[in-house]
Amino acid sequence: MTSTDVSRFADITDIFAEQTGHPSSSFAAAFTETVDGFQMTRGDEPITAGLPDAWEAERASEMVVQTLFDVMRDTRLEDIAGRLAWGVVHAFHKVAQQLDQEADRAAMKVKDLIRSADGSEVGTVEIEEAQTLCQSLDEAREAVACMRDRAAETYRVETRRPWSAPRATLVSSKRTASVIDGTNFLAARRQRRIEAQAPQGPVVIFLGRAALA
């Protein structure tokens, strides 16, 4: 690594981890297996493979963002590198959110099964399977969120400004039914207005990043 590289990445934590081949403490913790028989969906066959190598995942999280800036640096596309890199970090963020919501639903299923448990062998197996699913989703979420944070830090170093998610994606998964109904109503209303203006042919909708108040 040259002195220029060191200067560019001086703000990234654990810079020497890249040289030694050891993951940072956050990646070492996030990429520790916490459950046997990993499952991402209820009813799936258990996965016996391990998690990705923590050091490789950490380097990949940096490189997927860094490479965009490196390829476009000093070219006519340099000014849009930040936009593309923002989208890459956002992809990690969205997947982490989805896994978080799925884990919440799995946790609620565990609670429901415990409340209705009758002590039977079948009931016990259902609870164990539900717990495995919930724990698996938590494990996956922690790994993806850790990768997101590393990608976001690389984005910050390159752009000199922190990565921030659109407000709409930061809404808690524990929304009330009225909020969900209201959101669905507004989306359906907007769709009807679009179709009224352009009733023929396929409709392509580009959603903005503004959040509903």
Lowest mean pLDDT among 5-9, 26-30, 43-47, 50-54: 5-9
What are the domain boundaries of the chain?
Answer: 3-165
Q: What is the pTM of this model?
A: 0.68
Residue, of 30 and 14, whose pLDDT is higher:
30
- Nearest residue to 24 via CA among 63, 57, 55, 61: 55
The per-residue pLDDT for range 1-20, each reduced to its tens digit, is 444 454 454 445 455 455 55
pLDDT at position 169 over 80:
no
The per-residue pLDDT for range 185-207, each reduced to its tens digit, is 455 555 655 665 555 544 444 45
- The half-sphere exposure of 120 on its side-chain side, counting CA atoms within 13 A, is 7
Contact 151, 65 (CB under 8 A): yes
